[in-house]
Structure 1
Amino acid sequence: MPQTLAAGRERPARKDLIKAFIASLSGTALEWYDFAAYSVASALVFGHLFFPSYDPLTGTLLAFSTYAVGYVSRPVGGFVFGRLGDKLGRKHVLVTTLMLTGIATVLIGLLPTHGQVGALGGVLLVVLRFAQGVGIGGEWGGAVLLSSEFGSERRRGFWASAAQVGPPAGNLLANGVLAALAALLTREQFLSWGWRVAFLFSAVLVVFGLWIRVKLEETPVFRELQRKGEQAAAPLREVFTNEPRALVAGILSRVGPDILYALFTVFVLTYATKQLGMPESLAVTGVMAGSAAQLVLIPAAGALSDRWGRRRVYAVGAIGAGVWPFVFFPMAGTGSAGLMVLGVTVGLFWHSLMYGPQAAFISEQFSTAHRYTGCSLAYTLAGVIGGALAPLLSTYLFATFGTWVAPACYVAVACAVTLVGLAMGKADAQQPSMARRDARHPGPTR
């Protein structure tokens, strides 16, 4: 039987909590598999297949531009699905976002290339990438709430980190599939049809994710809002008018992690292969090793934030992340395979210290009735100024200045912006008091 909280809200049974954790993690991982497969392909093959009439650098920049479209379109998903999540519920919206991203990814695997249909191939690629971004934009806020609103208030950092484990899990799976294909096939076979397998495989993963989510109940927090009839009437307008400081804090706090993650999972692939002359398999191995470590590091950082404080753990990660590129690039420049893998792994360690507490930190900035909308907007708007342009700007900065110092300084500035966002955010919430606040004031608190 579910326990009852002092505020009158039922505490879910542990099996429901674990089910929500798995649904949040698996669904986000599946969507990030789709997103990561595109990221890797944009670095390794899309420039050649869809923009072959340009020189290699320009082709790579154009491929990264289509990568950026997936971030620019995220606010559309945040606006549309965030609002629906606060009005209709978390579960139904998350089923829709999963289907949208999955269908777009499968269609990418069926796209004709420039050699078959000319420029139309690139146009269709951009359209489907846009659809991927819309789905991801509506996914994150709901996935965070799915696990955190089922979870124990005293361990909100840990339970909310379920959605945060999704990106490295999806990235690991996508890189693993693409690495296996690259190893089993000749380069000609991989460029001809092998890369498509990774995108078509998404259909199987989406079916599994839908099965998990359809079986899950709505979160107890939203059911309580429905019972009292206290859903937000206009969540978008109310976030901007009643909680602007929370929104700005959430946006700025995400900039550093987004740019660091793009550097160590996307740009590093191009840098290692085109600048350092390393094999593609080595660069992918470094990303996979770091992503595997994050499967443990992210929930550990979330749990640490329950004991040590969100902002403190987050800030340590931001400081380390701002410094590490100045160590990483000289390490990678030695040409040592071991140092390359170690450097990427340590870079993603600093990312984990920020990413683990991030979901709880951002969700705690907003009142209950606006939380899906607020989280989604903070996530997606930050992506536009952070992750969307990061591979493109890193490539441009390196090409313009001819040195790794330029992209390293770019990361350092981004991490400084994150520290400003943390300072703007409210003091770390004590979970029991937050639960009482949610029950008494499900609407705006600012």
Structure 2
Amino acid sequence: MGTALEWYDFFIYGTAAALVFGDLFFPGDDPAAGTLAAFATFGVGFLFRPLGGIVFGHLGDRIGRRATLIATTLIMGIATGLIGLLPTYDAIGLWAPALLTLLRICQGLGAGAEFGGASTLLAEHAPPGRRGFYCSFAQTGVQIGLVLGTGAFLLVGLMPEGPRESWGWRLPFLAGFAMIAVALYVRLRVAESPVFRRMESTRRVVRMPVLEAVRRHPRGLLIGIGAHIGDTALIYTLATFTVSYATAELGLPGSTVLAGVLIFGVVVIALQPVYGALSDRVGRRPLNIFSVVFAALFWFPYFLLVQTGTPALIHLAMVVMTAFGFAPMVAVQPAFYAELFGARVRYSGFATSRELSTALVGFSPFVAAYLTGLLDGAPWLVAAYLVATALVTLVAFVFSAETKDMDITAIDPGRPETFGAAGSGTAG
């Protein structure tokens, strides 16, 4: 629940950047330049996600997973709500895009800590042999956030253009204030991780978790950075750039493409527990490799289908890419990252490595829009760029070890020292 509400906040910015922010905050004679500027501020959030991962990962390994997640909820909800109150460029000039960028930075800080914290909490609560299944619900929350955010803008799209551009676009952001209350209600009732409680009771908390992660788990950090590049470029291409491309280049109504985003979001939600449970049986590594190879092979066919301009074929392209190129990889991701690091540095190592990769490719919608312009609207350079991101992630997965049977309570994975937790996994 908490993850769904936080990622609703993060995703609606991308949809607004594709549909309205270019005109409202970055006006000019060239609409394409306004869209590029809007996507650039969208990417700014990704630049600050690693900082959020480092700062809040440090707190998560020092004061607890649960308390840190409560803090990220407040940061994300307040920043999102304030975006809904911002005056536009016509009202205050350059202050409008400056303040919008500042609030996007706050969203990035909150998002940088959210997924790693939620996944760590789930991993350390999960029973043996079911960690992949339980952890997959962190990613389910992300997709619920995507569906909620897309649905909100579909409803806004039903409004007449005048009211929509004057105040209607604000409603999904103002809902962020209400989301704070709901997310806090849920998170205040979640128990702290039993692994962290044992670390506290035995005084095994590390003073500088990030530095300890670099010292003890350099391979895990490098694998973690590479492992998230392909799916980050993929999801923001589907959820953000495709919306912009289909509306600006193909002339389709925004509601048509947003319906496709809704459909693929629902597909991911349905498949997450399935792939998560499958990873408990066959392992994380095989599913990861299958998923990223499929994505690399399907990017050119994906854009061939999108270029037809036929809504049914665009939706089909989104669903196929999602079901086989995205859903397996992200279902496995929460458990995969949690298993890369020992208990004392898990939150820091998880959040830092994963969010560094988002900083590298978070500007994918901006890059895609730029590459499209180089070929007068043709998407083939975009497809080549996305294949390259998938290959980087494939290298990370090839060099990763199978970790589904590791002892999640170990200070360092694969070493015998544990906290003796009841129900811990088998030492790998």
Question: Which TM-score applies when normalising by structure 1?
Answer: 0.91
Cα offsets for 1:82-111 (capped at 9, x unmatched) = 001001100000000010000000000000
Q: Which deviates more, 293-302 or 243-252? A: 293-302
Give 1:378's match in structure 2, choosing from 353, 356, 359: 353
Q: Aligned letter for 2:417? A: H
Number of the residue aligned with 2:160: 186
Number of the residue aligned with 1:309: 283
Q: Distance in 1 between matches of 2:353 and 2:225?
A: 5
Q: Following TM superposition, by how much is the alpha carbon of 1:442 offset from its aligned partner in structure 2, in angstroms?
A: 5.4
Q: Following TM superposition, by how much is the alpha carbon of 1:148 offset from its aligned partner in structure 2, in angstroms?
A: 1.3
Number of the residue aligned with 1:413: 388
Give 1:131's match in structure 2, choosing from 103, 106, 120: 106
Q: Distance in 2 between matches of 1:74 and 1:112?
A: 25
Number of the residue aligned with 1:208: 182
Number of the residue aligned with 1:14: none
Q: Following TM superposition, by how much is the alpha carbon of 1:189 offset from its aligned partner in structure 2, in angstroms?
A: 1.0
Asked if residue 65 in structure 1 is aligned to residue 65 in structure 2, the reply is no
Pair 1:442–1:116, CA change in 2 (3 A): farther
Is the contact between residue 75 and residue 106 of structure 2 (CA under 8 Å) also seen in structure 1? yes
Is the contact between residue 256 and residue 418 of structure 1 (CA under 8 Å) also seen in structure 2? yes
SS, match of residue 205 in structure 2: coil
Number of the residue aligned with 1:153: 128
Q: Following TM superposition, by how much is the alpha carbon of 1:428 offset from its aligned partner in structure 2, in angstroms?
A: 2.8
Q: Distance in 1 between matches of 2:161 and 2:326?
A: 32
Number of the residue aligned with 2:422: none
State how many pairs are aligned: 416
Q: Following TM superposition, by how much is the alpha carbon of 1:429 offset from its aligned partner in structure 2, in angstroms?
A: 3.5
Q: Distance in 2 between matches of 1:202 and 1:284?
A: 20
SS, match of residue 153 in structure 1: coil
Cα offsets for 1:165-206 (capped at 9, x unmatched) = 1221101001101101211x1011111100100101122122
Number of the residue aligned with 1:106: 81
Give 2:300's match in structure 1, choosing from 326, 331, 335: 326
Q: Distance in 2 between matches of 1:335 and 1:84?
A: 48
Q: Following TM superposition, by how much is the alpha carbon of 1:299 offset from its aligned partner in structure 2, in angstroms?
A: 2.1
Runs of 4+ off more than 6 Å: 436-439
SS, match of residue 421 in structure 1: helix
Cα offsets for 1:328-364 (capped at 9, x unmatched) = 1111222211111111122222211110101111111
Cα offsets for 1:203-234 (capped at 9, x unmatched) = 21221110011112211111111111111121
Give 1:270's match in structure 2, choosing from 235, 240, 244: 244
Q: Distance in 1 between matches of 2:365 and 2:418?
A: 39
Asked if residue 361 in structure 1 is aligned to residue 315 in structure 2, the reply is no
Pair 1:225–1:112, CA change in 2 (3 A): same
Q: Aligned letter for 2:160? A: T
SS, match of residue 111 in structure 1: coil
Q: Distance in 2 between matches of 1:164 and 1:64?
A: 24
Name the Cα RMSD after superposition: 1.6
Asked if residue 427 in structure 1 is aligned to residue 402 in structure 2, the reply is yes
Q: Which runs of 5+ in 2 are unaligned?
A: 420-426
Question: Which TM-score applies when normalising by structure 2?
Answer: 0.94
Q: Distance in 1 between matches of 2:409 and 2:319?
A: 36
Q: Distance in 1 between matches of 2:29 and 2:44?
A: 20
Number of the residue aligned with 1:250: 224
Asked if residue 195 in structure 1 is aligned to residue 196 in structure 2, the reply is no
Q: Following TM superposition, by how much is the alpha carbon of 1:371 offset from its aligned partner in structure 2, in angstroms?
A: 0.2
Is the contact between residue 48 and residue 105 of structure 2 (CA under 8 Å) also seen in structure 1? yes
Q: Aligned letter for 1:246? A: G
Q: Distance in 2 between matches of 1:434 and 1:374?
A: 14
Is the contact between residue 140 and residue 379 of structure 1 (CA under 8 Å) also seen in structure 2? no
Q: Which runs of 5+ in 1 are unaligned?
A: 1-25
Asked if residue 79 in structure 1 is aligned to residue 79 in structure 2, the reply is no
Q: Following TM superposition, by how much is the alpha carbon of 1:424 offset from its aligned partner in structure 2, in angstroms?
A: 2.3
Asked if residue 299 in structure 1 is aligned to residue 280 in structure 2, the reply is no
Is the contact between residue 225 and residue 442 of structure 1 (CA under 8 Å) also seen in structure 2? no
Pair 1:145–1:55, CA change in 2 (3 A): same
Q: Following TM superposition, by how much is the alpha carbon of 1:440 offset from its aligned partner in structure 2, in angstroms?
A: 4.8
Q: Distance in 1 between matches of 2:338 and 2:6?
A: 21
Is the contact between residue 205 and residue 344 of structure 2 (CA under 8 Å) also seen in structure 1? yes
Q: Distance in 1 between matches of 2:187 and 2:108?
A: 20
Q: Distance in 2 between matches of 1:54 and 1:305?
A: 51
Q: Aligned letter for 2:116? A: G
Q: Following TM superposition, by how much is the alpha carbon of 1:324 offset from its aligned partner in structure 2, in angstroms?
A: 1.5
Q: Aligned letter for 2:118? A: A
Is the contact between residue 371 and residue 381 of structure 2 (CA under 8 Å) also seen in structure 1? yes
Q: Following TM superposition, by how much is the alpha carbon of 1:40 offset from its aligned partner in structure 2, in angstroms?
A: 0.2
